[in-house]
Structure 1
Amino acid sequence: MISQLSWKIGGQQGEGVESTDRIFSTALNRLGYYLYGYRHFSSRIKGGHTNNKIRISTKPIRAISDDLDILVAFDQESIDLNAHELCSGGVIVADAKFNPSVPEGIDVKLFPVPITSIAEELGTSLMKNMVASGASWALLGLPLEVFNKAVEEEFGRKGQAIVDKNIEAVKRGADFVLELAGGPLDNFKLEPADGKQKLFMIGNDAIGLGALTAGCRIMSAYPITPASEIMEYLIKKLPKFGGTVVQTEDEIAAITMAIGSNYAGVRSMTASAGPGLSLMMEAIGLAGMTETPVVIVDTQRGGPSTGLPTKQEQSDINALIYGTHGEIPKIVIAPSSIEECFYDTVEAFNLAEKYQVPVIVATDLQLSLGKQSCEMLDYNKIQIERGYIVKDIPEREDKSMFNRYAVTDNGISPRVLPGEKNGIHHVTGVEHDEAGRPSESTVNRKKMMDKRLRKLDEMQITNPIHLHSPHAEPDLLIVGMGSTGGTIDQARLRLNGEGVTSNHMTVRQMHPFPTELILPEIQKAKKVLVFENNATGQLANLMKLHCGNHDKILNALKYDGSPFLPSEVFEECAKAAGYKPHEELVQNGNL
């Protein structure tokens, strides 16, 4: 029996690949397995090759695998594009309808199953995804009762007759492939899972749940990949708690509506991707000038312009930090796991109100849309902090306006919500005095700028970095952000086995940059290798700007639209450390 394997399904977009993956992985989750998924899909509604890959394990995992054990193919293109990932002795379950063939030189077993024909016999070709799922499930030797339960949950709302037909499709797919294979494949039998209850969701759902838990009651947004699922999640959930989602005409309206709602005292947010973030920049500056809290989620994708809407990238860092004209205080945080997507979103709302600034939660496509197992969330950790909101304001004899922007030692001024007696003040996007009245005084300008900018002098999020630092003087300090953490951890296990010492740091607080935490780790390493999905090394450049040590800091960049694989991380690390495994094997006579 094995402790993990990888499964992938491929076909044309719109023919059931996503639903097959969803039901297959849901059933595995019910058994208690740990899962990590990756979606490769085209930026169109229907058509174009798409595939979903799932890594299944009895232990926690946070990375996709290099290789593949089972490929389910709805067309020949899926075999041609993905068969190279299959390990020796792997399996292809293919629809017999297209007379599948295996490319030369690939050592795998091919099981042609009449997937479409079986579905059509049951009434509709739409059920071919259930036939394919049943065939996959049977090869693993897993109990069909668990899978059938997932089918009932998926189709129950459509009536028992539909449920029964889909269960029959699963059974027929399972029976056919078992007859071909002579029973479940011994080398693909999974060890039993721990059976513990786990959540299984995408980062966008975790962000939506975090916003709801934080007390967000208004989301204004415009649909955009890969952020739309946040809006779709909250459309279903917010009305149950007295909230609402407003689909605006564009991202400019979305951010200004969120700012207005926060000004009125309602926790509000918006979410977008790179193109939408660009449109929001002027309004983010307005939030900074008026000291209005607002939470913005940026789900990074391939750019520039429309770029690669459905592909992985981490190239918005410069825009997130420097995109607004002028200088305002803002906070940029980058969660690195599903759990952190939840907890960081809650913290983002607290930080926004505590410091009265825009807070941007930066994810990437893999973290936003890759479905993953995560431990049950601990709601006892959640605390709501509304910041310096004043009430019961005493009368002023001179009837002057309230000093909403009063100069304070920590830069945080008293915030008053509209309608509070004796709290009237000006609010404007131009420079202003303490009561909000427009002012072009040079003395006032410097005073107000200094006040705003010192808000974040002592600001630090929970866990600004994640650090695994077992070595006092490592060969490498490996640095990443967002979804790269699990991949780096897996590669480090192999590095350690080859005698290369390494420490690992994930940067979570992008701005203000936590120099005092990062610099000591850079100084004690021989070399620093920074992994990021962009072409210009934006995180590495941030480190050089704030920490110096330019000669130590090296780039490991990938910007082809796909996330790093563990083997790629290992190879880059080995190269940076000067380790040449192939040459050493040759010298030792082992090759």
Structure 2
Amino acid sequence: MIKQLSWKVGGQQGEGIESTGEIFSMALNRQGYYLYGYRHFSSRIKGGHTNNKIRVSTFQTNSISDDLDILVAFDQETIDVNHHELSAGGVVIGDSKFGPKLPEGSQAKLFSVPFTEIATELGTSLMKNMVAVGASASLLGLQSDIFKSVVEQIFSKKGEAVVLKNMDAIEAGRKYFEKESAGSVGDFQLEKADGNHRLFMIGNDAIALGALAGGARFMPAYPITPASEIMEYLIKKLPEYGGTVIQTEDEIAACTMAIGANYAGVRSLTASAGPGLSLMMEAIGLSGITETPLVIVDTQRGGPSTGLPTKQEQSDIFAMIYGTHGEIPKVVMAPSSVEEAFYDAVEAFNIAEEYQVPVILITDLALSLGKQTVDPLDFNRVKIRRGKLDINEELPELDKGTYFKRYEVTEDGVSKRVIPGMKHGLHHVTGVEHNEQGKPSESPENRKAQMDKRMKKLESLVDRFPEPVLKNEQHEEADMLIIGVNSTKGTIEEVLPRLEEDGVKVNHGHIRLLHPFPAEELQSMINKAKKVVVVENNATGQIAQLLKMNTNVEKVESILKYDGNPFLPSEIHHECKELFAYGNL
């Protein structure tokens, strides 16, 4: 028996590839296995190669695997595109319909199974994916009944007959493969899982759930990959809590509506990707100068322009930090796991209201859409902090002809906040520079006072932020410090023991607060390392440049990948070994 394996299903988009992976992984999750999944899909509704790679193990794993043990193919292209990942002794299960063939020299074993034919005999060719699930179950030594609760959950609305037909398809696939293989494959049976119940979710769902738990009750948004699942989740859930989602005509409207809702006292968010964020930049400036809380989620994808809408990249970092015209205080947070995405979504609303600033929660496609096993969330950790806003406060009566000092200059830069309808809270709100009462003012003295007030807000944030840098420091004197952001955390962590076996003393720092930048936290780690290596999914080394701008690092080496795919552990391992060897010649 084995502790882990990697399984992939592939075919043409629109022929049930996603549902095949979903059913397979959900059933194993319910048995107590840990899973990590990544979908490769095209930016079109139907057609084009797509695959879903899932790592299954008896221990926590947070990275896509280097190799592949089992490949389920619905067409020849799947074999041609993915065979190079197969490990020695790997297995390909292909639909007999297309006459599957292995490339010359392949060491994998090929089994031709009539997915389509079996499914058609049972009633409809649409169930071929269930036959494939059954064949996979046979290879793993699993019984068909472990899939029953998942099949019931997905198909119960269509009636008991449909549920039974799909279960019949799974069992038929299992029996056919069991007979066909007849013990001719290696050991693919997983050790028994612990049976514990854990969540299995994508980062977008975690963010949406975090927003809901954090008190958000309104989301205006425009659909865009890979952010749309946040909107779709809240469309279903917000009405149950008195909230709502509005699909706007564009991202400009979405951002300004979110600002309006927050001004009225309703916690609101919007979510988009790079192209949508570009349209929001002026509105983000409005949030900054009016000191209205705002939470935005940026799910990074391949750019520029439409770019690679369904592929991995981390190239919005500079845009999110520096993109707005003029100078405003803003916060850019970067969760590195699905679990962090939940808690950080809650914290984003607290920070936005406490500091009265726009907060951008930045993820990447692998984190937004990648599915991970997550331990049960602790809702006791969810705390609502609204800063200097008390809607029940008795405000002092205003003198005749005066207004509430909404933008009063204070020691910490944060003024008392009121919402419409609060007695004696009347004030001006405008996007031009204004005085303490909100009235437009072009006075040089007032301009400096208001700018200084706004810019001092975030002076204490780094010290108050929970773990601005996740530190894995095994050595007081390290040969190498690896730095990353977002979804690369799990991949880097997997590489660390490999490098230690190679004789490299390595520490790891993962940045969770990009702005304001945690310079002191990172400087302390830099001081303990001979070499600093930054791993990031972009072409210009944006994190490396931030490091150079904010710390006294002498030299930074970059490991960059910008082909649309996430890093594999072996890629980071190889590059780090090369850099270590080069530095020690």
Which band: TM-score by shorter chain? over 0.9
Residue deviations 1:46-97 (CA, integer Å, cap 9, x gap): 0000000000000000000010000000000000000110001110000001
Q: Is the 8 A contact 1:141 1:185 kept in 2?
A: no
After TM superposition, give the deviation of residue 148 of structure 1 in Å. 2.2
Separation (CA, whole Å) in 2 of partners of 1:19 and 1:266: 37
State the 1:342 CA deviation. 0.1
What are the equivalent positions in structure 2 for 1:538-577 lying under 5 Å apart? 538-549=542-553, 551-577=554-580
Q: Is the 8 A contact 1:140 1:184 kept in 2?
A: no
> For the residues of structure 1 that align with 2:283 and 2:314, how far apart are their CA atoms?
23
**SS at structure 2 position matched to 1:359:** strand
Following TM superposition, by how much is the alpha carbon of 1:332 offset from its aligned partner in structure 2, in angstroms? 0.2
Contact preservation (8 Å) 1:574, 1:580: no
Code of the aligned partner of 1:565? L
Counterpart of 2:414 in structure 1 is 412
1:440 is matched with which residue?
442
1:265-303 CA deviation, whole Å, 9 max, x = no partner? Answer: 000000000000000000000000000001000000000
- Contact persistence 2:481–2:533 (CA under 8 A): yes
Q: Report the Cα distance in structure 1 between the residues aligned to 2:250 and 2:17, rounded to whole angstroms.
A: 31
Q: What per-residue deviation string (whole Å, max 9, x for no partner) do you get for residues 288-340 of structure 1?
A: 00000010000000000000000000000000000000000000000000000
Instruction: Report the equivalent of 2:456.
Output: 454
Which residue does 2:467 correspond to in 1?
463
- Cα distance, 1:432–1:580 mapped onto 2, change above 3 Å: closer
Aligned residues with identical type, % of pairs? 64
Contact kept in structure 1, 2:39 and 2:51, CA below 8 Å: yes
Q: Assess if the C-alpha contact under 8 Å between 2:89 and 2:186 holds in 1.
A: no
Structure 2 match to 1:587: none
In the TM superposition, residue 143 of structure 1 has moved relative to its aligned partner by 2.4
Q: Distance in 2 between matches of 1:186 and 1:70?
A: 11
Superposed, 1:95-114 pairs within 5 Å as 95-114=95-114
Stretches (4+) displaced over 6 A: none
For 2:430 and 2:583, the matched residues in 1 are separated by: 61
What's the CA shift for 1:186? 4.9
SS in 1 for 2:478: coil
Residues 36 and 372 in structure 1, CA contact (< 8 A), matched pair in contact too:
yes
Q: Which residue of structure 1 lines up, in the alignment, with residue 386 of structure 2?
A: 386
Q: Partner of 1:513 in structure 2?
A: 517
Q: TM-score, normalised by structure 1?
A: 0.97
Cα pair 1:302 1:309 within 8 Å, conserved: yes
State how far apart, in whole Å, the 2-side matches of 1:177 and 1:318 are: 52
Aligned Cα RMSD in Å? 1.2
Name the structure 1 match of 2:356.
356
> In 1, Cα distance between the equivalents of 2:381 and 2:261?
26
CA distance in 2, matches of 1:565, 1:418: 52
Provide closer, same or farther for how the CA distance between residues 450 and 120 of structure 1 changes in structure 2, counting only shifts above 3 A. Answer: same
The question of whether the paired residues in 1 share the 8 Å contact of 2:144 and 2:167 is answered with: no
Tell me how far 1:149 sits from its aligned partner: 2.3
- Specify every segment of 5 or more residues in structure 2 that has no aligned partner in the other structure, as ranges: none
| Equivalence for 2:433 | 431
| Matching residue of 1:239 | 239
Amino acid corresponding to residue 516 of structure 2 in structure 1: P
User: Could you tell me whether the CA contact under 8 Å between 2:7 and 2:55 is conserved in 1?
Assistant: yes
Local SS of the residue matching 2:362: strand
CA distance in 1, matches of 2:513, 2:168: 51
Q: Is the 8 A contact 1:93 1:113 kept in 2?
A: yes
Alpha-carbon shift at residue 474 of structure 1 (Å): 0.6
**Paired residue for 1:201?**
201
Superposition deviation, residue 244 in structure 1: 0.2
Shift of 1:429: 0.2
Opposite residue 551 of structure 2, the aligned amino acid is: C
Q: Which residue is equivalent to 1:301?
A: 301
User: Residues 446 and 299 (structure 1 numbering): CA distance in 2 closer, same or farther, change over 3 Å?
Assistant: same
Q: Secondary structure at the match of 1:458?
A: helix
1:524 corresponds to: 528
Structure 1, gaps ≥5 residues long: 584-591
One-letter identity of the residue aligned with 1:229: E
- What is the aligned partner in structure 1 of residue 492 from structure 2? 488
Contact 1:334–1:482 at 8 Å: present in 2 too? Answer: yes
Match of 2:480 among 476, 482, 488: 476
Shift of 1:396: 2.6
